[in-house]
Amino acid sequence: EVQLLESGGDLVQPGGSLRLSCVASGFSFSSYAMSWVRQAPGKGLEWVSGISAGGTTYYADSVKGRFTISRDNSRNTLNLQMNGLRAEDTAVYHCAKGGVTIFGVIKNNWFDPWGQGTLVTVSS
Amino acid sequence: EIVMTQSPATLSVSPGERATLSCRASQSVNNNLAWYQQKPGQAPRLLIYDASTRATGIPARFSGSGSATEFTLTISSLQSEDFAVYYCQQYNNWPPITFGQGTRLEIK
């Protein structure tokens, strides 16, 4: 069974930092792109960042320069380092399994499955 | 950035009836569109990818159609477990990957 389990969410002050992790199991982690998608309380889904199987990274403009996505294929782990946190970053953060890389391009980048998410609250 | 617009925001339908949800893209996404279902307190679940292909384990009452900029998710005969929020997502032209704002399907 494919599973994703996030951790690391917490209450943090504005300007603070937090590191989220997502441990994957049940599939060949190193072969797939992965993404972080967040959902603010009562709001819709917002893609935050993605990383290809080979380590190429992608970011939403809202987090570029503040967040860093990385992966450790030896540990089947996806990470999101979040610096300079703002109140508007408050959300449940989900990791999700994405598409495959073909000739350097990520294809079929729908998300399946998703982890249950970890809550990040930015407040003083 | 491709903007995805879903309509209606809320849809009230009786159990056993058909529900039709719409998703429009601000520019062509070819058939690179997915649909997700989300219930309260749960992670989104993939229903449809490539506009019309059901994901593994998704009942046949769920169907997707459309291409380019206009897409539809149809639930042929609503069951009680289908009342949820539905999102569309484009993966044709990214970053960023973009989602619609969601359609809440509620019991009439």
pLDDT at residue B47 tops 90? yes
- If you compute the radius of gyration of chain A from its CA atoms, what whole number of angstroms results? 14
pLDDT of residue A102: 85
pLDDT of residue B92: 95
In chain B, what residues touch A112 (CB-CB under 8 Å)? 46, 49, 55
pLDDT at residue A113 tops 90? yes
SS3 content of chain B, % helix, strand, coil (to 5): 5, 50, 50
Looking at residues B40-66, what average pLDDT do you find? 98
- What is the SS3 assignment for B68? coil
Looking at residues B6-34, what average pLDDT do you find? 97
Looking at residues B92-103, what average pLDDT do you find? 96
Are residues A94 and B43, on separate chains, in Cβ contact within 8 Å?
yes
Give the bridge partners for B25, in sequence order: B4
In chain A, what residues touch B49 (CB-CB under 8 Å)? 108, 110, 112
For residue range A86-107, list pLDDT tens digits in order.
Answer: 999 999 999 999 999 888 888 8
Are residues B45 and A113, on separate chains, in Cβ contact within 8 Å?
yes
How many residues does this entry show for chain A? 124
